[in-house]
Structure 1
């Protein structure tokens, strides 16, 4: 038992150290553009669908915040997120690679003044409105923003316009934090997701996907244009 506790403690320290390293580094988008070979095969194809361990479209990451991308990749590398493919890729990345990739994807496909007007957001149905505000002190919009596109913290993702099946799978993963392949260990999101049934999470994911947002997929063929 002591050996197990020692191993767990060492792992936790390693994760904290990795996160701290990433936060003190400065990302370079130009350098990041040279490190995307393992990313574009999935994230550079519009509508690309993963089949293992669950079938869903891979998330759109162009236009996502750099701080969140760093946080997500660090979670995969540290084991807090269990998806086998993403863990394997993250394991090959040094902290500098992570911040460079984050810098690159955060500005990819974005133009100044390109943010979608909040006025275009679809009003939620009474059912969805009740789900979002189920616990006023911990409502989804407290962190992700009223339009789900203006997070209150860099480590919180933009969700508006994201693929509904990906959002659904991601939300379910927080309910299964100990699952060896799809679980996600995050105290805040775990607490939130577990307050909802699987059916309710699907309703939330479906609504959020209809909102105008920054995230998109830039096709791989466009990444190599000279203009």
Structure 2
């Protein structure tokens, strides 16, 4: 039964994220990234809403996932005042170009070593929602590029993002993806924090690449 549920969820998620294709232009995306680098181009930069946390690393992230995220902010399925305003200003072509730029931005060879093993407690937590079934065994090679790479992402950001799926009927914060909400709500906030800390300890492709003006 669990396998059937997960298969159905994966199929549903694919249709949710499937969007008309736009030709991606990474060079055009680089020229459009000025609004992004003030947060995502500064190592360790922290946001202060809804709580203090590091902004996510997006250099090296899957382009298809970046587009899906921006579309979710634009539609209101994700809520964050700053990101909402930015997404509203972007066309579908802008999103495609920015995504192409960040996917290859500062790209480094994938780590070939074995991922750090979780504690028995965290291993059981990860099995509970079968996180690896979408995000990949090493959490750096998702089964579909519409899913994010999460290995090595900032722990505090992962925690805030996962916690957002516990929030509903709030006009300023929260995430409305039904599949992820169902998964996140299997856990207490304390358990989400433990999962986030483990995922952040893994090697992955995600990084912050400073722009020259901020070095």
- 1:64 matches 2:61: yes
CA distance in structure 1 between the aligned counterparts of 2:117 and 2:18, rounded to whole angstroms: 41
- Distance in structure 2 (CA, Å) of the matches to 1:96 and 1:20: 16
Q: Determine the structure 2 residue equivalent to 1:166.
A: 157
Q: Which runs of 5+ in 2 are unaligned?
A: 1-15
- With the length of structure 1 as denominator, give the TM-score of the two structures: 0.84
Residue from 127, 132, 147 that aligns with 1:133: 127
Q: Which residues in structure 2 correspond to 1:142-181 (within 5 Å)?
A: 142-181=133-172
How far is 1:23 from its partner?
3.1
CA contact (8 A) 1:48 1:58 kept: yes
Q: Residue 51 in 1 paired to residue 45 in 2?
A: no
Deviations 1:143-178 (A, max 9, x none): 001111010111110000000000000000011143
Counterpart for residue 116 of structure 1: 111
Give the structure 1 partner of residue 200 of structure 2: 209
Q: TM-score, normalised by structure 2?
A: 0.89
The count of corresponding residues between Structure 1 and Structure 2 is 200
Deviates more, 1:198-207 or 1:146-155: 146-155
Q: Are residues 1:221 and 2:212 paired?
A: yes
Tell me the equivalent position of 2:11: none
For residues 83 and 40 of structure 1, what CA distance do their matches in structure 2 show?
Answer: 17
Q: Deviations over 1:105-140 (max 9, x none)?
A: 0000114xx001241x11000000010112xxx400
For 2:174, what is the secondary structure of its paired residue? coil
Over the residues paired in the alignment, what is the CA RMSD in angstroms? 1.8
Cα offset, 1:39, TM superposition: 0.1
Q: Evaluate the alpha carbon distance shift between residue 143 and residue 177 of structure 1 in structure 2; reply closer, same or farther with a 3 A threshold.
A: farther
Question: Structure 1 residues 147 and 38, CA, compared in 2 at 3 Å: closer, same or farther?
Answer: same
